[in-house]
Amino acid sequence: MEIYLLLKVIWWILLGVLLMGLGVMVGMDMGVGTILRYVGRNDIERRVVINGIGPHWDGNQVWFVLGGGAIFAAFPLIYGTAFSGFYVVMLLLLWSMIVRPLAFEYRSKKESLAWRSGWDWMLFVSGFLPMLVFGAAIGNVLQGVPFHFSWNLTSYYTGSFLALFNPFAILCGLMSVALACFMGAATVANGADGVIAERARKVSTVSGLVSIVLFVIGGIWMRSISFFVLDAAPSGNLPQIPLQQTVSTQVGALYNNYAAHPVLWLLPVVAILALAYGIVAARGGKSHLSWWCGALAWIGVIGSVGAAMFPFMMPSSSDPSHSLTLWNSSSSQLTLTWMTGFALVFVPLILWYTSWCYYVMRGKVKAEDIEHDEHAY
């Protein structure tokens, strides 16, 4: 395999890994915010829940930064096209991410119950909305995004904001929220006990079942979606642009890779089995095992999407031949080489210090400890 082709494939895999990390680590925090008002019925219970992720939530945001940075550097054409086309959605995401740290920091600064309840709602919105957008974005990419290029590669987005929230995209968004709630519930059960942990286990059961049902429905729905087939294009080892290829559409094409390589069916099977076993583990009080099952489910779900779309990364519904693929949207060989070197150093470092932080700050959060700690959230 030629070096440039290999680097493109490496960064396609690395981007998938970063999206999995985002789903697991960021989704976990967002899930806690989404279920906060259910698992915590009064102020002190909610403070227990919030302080369970208090030492880690801001560190987990590094996966957002890594994901955005990887797309910007490794796939700049996708970055420019997506961020301009999804501008309003990105603003909503940005505002929710701005409100989130404010809610953590300001919630307990005043004794007023109305003040604290208001910030609890902000934690709900800033947890629910980003995960809904994350899933809806995947749903739109699976259907094709309405954009095209001019002769000089200026991108033009021809869709509307409301069209982004079509039925299939909403289904994908709700599944993303359900998976986040599953991870959040496992996290709450890990960090709390008593009635809070019991409510979290109930959330794990419901959100896990909802995730399985929505995943299966989405898989069946995908058989009726007209996806894209790469008919002709330059060699993947050559620098190229989208205007050099020919792409057609075919109903059910999202399953072409699965038909050609049946081993890929392991990915959706792993997602479903992990969720099913995670539910059993949660109901049996094994919240740590349930958390790892949720992480494995995220890997299976995102892996299933990547396997279905390959080599497409952002297909165009306006002009299929302008679709962005792994082959025509990557950076230069020099850029990918340097990025691979940095990734080999910093990705393991991030995994190490994240694991170390969770190990050092493990254990249950007690209500009496929070009441006497002026630095607690």
Give yes or no for a contact between 319 and 64, defined as CB atoms under 8 angstroms apart. no
Buried b (16+ CB within 10 A) or exposed e, 179-210: bbbbbbbbbbbbbbeeebbebbbebbbebbeb
**DSSP assigned state of 1:** -
Cα–Cα distance between 110 and 190 in angstroms, integer? 28
Beta strands in the chain (DSSP E): 147-149, 155-157, 226-232, 246-251, 312-314, 324-325
Q: What is the pLDDT of residue 235?
A: 82
Q: What is the pLDDT of residue 1?
A: 56
Please tell me whether the peptide bond between 311 and the residue prior to it is cis, using omega within 30 degrees of 0: yes
**Which CATH superfamily hosts domain 3-371?**
Formate dehydrogenase/DMSO reductase domain (1.20.1630.10)
Q: What is the pLDDT of residue 218?
A: 95
For the chain, domain boundaries: 3-371
Which neighbouring-strand residues pair with 251? 226
What the block records as the tokens of 223 is 């058989």
pTM of the predicted model, to two decimals?
0.92
Q: What is the pLDDT of residue 374?
A: 67
Q: What is the pLDDT of residue 339?
A: 92
Q: What is the pLDDT of residue 223?
A: 93
pLDDT one-digit tens code per residue, 205-218 = 999 999 999 999 99
For residue 193, give the nearest of 49, 54, 87 by alpha carbon. 49
Residue ranges of the chain whose pLDDT lies below 50: none
pLDDT one-digit tens code per residue, 141-191 = 999 999 999 888 888 888 888 888 899 999 999 999 999 999 999 999 988
